[in-house]
Structure 1
Amino acid sequence: MQITRSSINTVKGPADWFTGEVYIDAVAAAPAPSRVSAALVHFMPGARTHWHRHPLGQTVFVTEGIGLCRRRGGPIEVIRPGDRVLFEADEEHWHGAAPNRLMVHLAINEADADHDVVHWLTPVTDDEYAAAPPTD
């Protein structure tokens, strides 16, 4: 058993991964041979990831607020606390907060044999983001 006391600082999400204000808290990063990691990601209203994909997929579990997510070619979906979203391996997608609400989710990822967890792509444009359905 290993207990890690809360000693890791919250970090600001980098601008080459996110649009808007995003903060990340590391939750799990088990040593090898495990390849699973998890992070609590806090999106301020209007903040979102860039388009990206995960070689082995990604699960996000919404814990707070109202969010949006979209896979390439699909509609924008509204997500709420308790919703679980599975993005398939290499499925291009984005996720983030609704325009008027923050959103927090637990992101669970697995690295592939090359230790890649995510491949970042282009930013989600304001026009793409503005196509979201109402969140009321």
Structure 2
Amino acid sequence: MNIEPTVPTSKNPPAQFAGDVWLDPIALPHESEQTMVVATVRFSPGARTAWHSHQHGQYLRITQGVGRFGTRDGKIIEVHPGQTVYTPPGEEHWHAAAPGCFMEHIAMLQNGEDPSKTTTWAGHITDDEYNGR
């Protein structure tokens, strides 16, 4: 048993995020058979991910602020602290902070056999997609 070393906060890359988004890892695999990844992710007002999907799905627990989550069918849901969003394996989606407020969530997912292919990234969402138009 050990206390995990603190990993410095990192800013997520603009290739996959629009606006300021920061990542703080909580749990990363230590052994080859471990696949769980958990991180706190903080979005500045209006910041958002690009379209993406996860090989094994993803859970997102909102801890602060108001989140917006969208799918390819145009559906957008608003999520508040204490709520958890589940995206099934392969479902393309995006997540963001609502306009005018920060949003923080805990992201939980399992790596695939090739961790570099666990998340498949696509293009950035448009302002119209973010605004539900």
Deviations 1:58-116 (A, max 9, x none): 00000000010012214110000011000000000000100111100000011112223
Which residues of structure 2 form unaligned runs of 5+? none
Structure 1 length normalisation: TM-score?
0.92
Percent identity between matched residues is 38
- Residue 48 of structure 2 aligns with which residue? 48
Displacement over 4 Å in runs of 4+: none
- Cα distance in 2 between the residues matched to 1:88 and 1:94: 13
- Is residue 101 from structure 1 mapped to residue 98 from structure 2 by the alignment? no
Deviations 1:6-28 (A, max 9, x none): 2x111011001101110110111
SS in 1 for 2:128: helix
RMSD: 1.2
Q: Secondary structure at the match of 1:119?
A: strand
CA distance in 1 between partners of 2:58 and 2:114 (Å): 17
Within 1, Cα distance between the matches of 2:130 and 2:74? 13
What's the CA shift for 1:130? Answer: 1.6
**In structure 2, C-alpha distance between the alignment counterparts of 1:70 and 1:125, rounded to whole Å:** 12
SS in 2 for 1:38: strand
SS of 2:27's partner is: strand
Q: How many residues align?
A: 131
Structure 1 spans left out of the alignment, 5+ residues:
none
